Amino acid sequence: MKFIKSILALSAAALAGFSGLGFAQTVANASFNANSTPDGSITDWTINSGSFGALTAAQWNAQQGKADLLSSSPGNPGGNVLGTWYVSQQNDVISQNISGLTVGKSYTVSFYEAADNRSTSTYTPGSMYWNVSLGSSSANSTAIATPGASAASGWTQVSLNFVASSATEALTFAAKSTSAVAPEPLLLLDGVSLAQAVPEPSTSAMMLAGVAIVGSLVRRRQARQG
């Protein structure tokens, strides 16, 4: 009986670990729809430095009379997107504290990014990207080639993995550019999410196989005792 209880306990622990995979944490105002401002505070986010605004793609375009330059974000069609400017001249950083994390667990931060040059000026060729941090760990998003005059990039979805070192960590986005760009182009962000990282298919298969083996051992043990 003790053997069976031990096996069942191990099986339950394995299933508990498996069922928790992919659990999403709450990122407040993740699509920046809570308020609409061309330059000012962003609800639920802290502007550590620099300038940020939250407007729809159409509103960003209208500021420079470029009606169809920037498309809506796939993660938030018709909604607001976060924009920042003077990327190479000021330290544009925005953050939000995320709680309820499990220390040692891997988390995936996903979001959409784009760049939008609404001016008629062509800037020094280079790239723009977000430096993303969860606590003390950081990683760079996919680099976007600096758009030419009156041009915008398409939207790209980015996923970056981090390991939590504390139950509450600061999720931070810092705008970066490899060339001198000011005030355009805008670097844009939308659809931020954070969830426990899902393991590789091979890892999931091994966990399920382990549970199946445990079940088989229990059945054999019970058959012998019967």
* The predicted structure's pLDDT at residue 124: 87
**Could you tell me the CA-to-CA distances from 5 to 1, 142, 148, 209 in Å, in that order?**
6, 49, 67, 19
* The predicted structure's pLDDT at residue 9: 47
20-24, 75-79, 180-184 — which one is most confidently predicted on average? 75-79
**Interhelix angle for 201-225 vs 2-19, to 10°?**
160
- Write out the two tokens for 116: 């939008």
**Please, are residues 143 and 90 in contact by the beta-carbon 8 Å criterion?**
no
* The predicted structure's pLDDT at residue 221: 59
- Write out the two tokens for 137: 């760990």
Cα separation, 20 vs 17, whole angstroms: 5
DSSP state of 79: S
* The predicted structure's pLDDT at residue 226: 58
**Please, are residues 31 and 44 in contact by the beta-carbon 8 Å criterion?**
no
6-10, 69-73, 169-173, 211-215 — which one is most confidently predicted on average? 169-173
Mean pLDDT of 50-55: 96
Mean pLDDT of 84-91: 92
* The predicted structure's pLDDT at residue 7: 43
For residue 205, is pLDDT > 70?
A: no
pTM of the shown model: 0.81
For residue 49, is pLDDT > 80?
A: yes
Q: Work out the percent of the chain whose per-residue pLDDT is above 70.
A: 78
* The predicted structure's pLDDT at residue 62: 87
Sign of the CA dihedral with 211 first, then 212, 215, and 217 last: negative
For residue 128, is pLDDT > 90?
A: yes
pLDDT tens, position by position, 22-47: 578 899 999 999 988 999 999 999 99
Of 8 and 220, the one with more pLDDT: 220
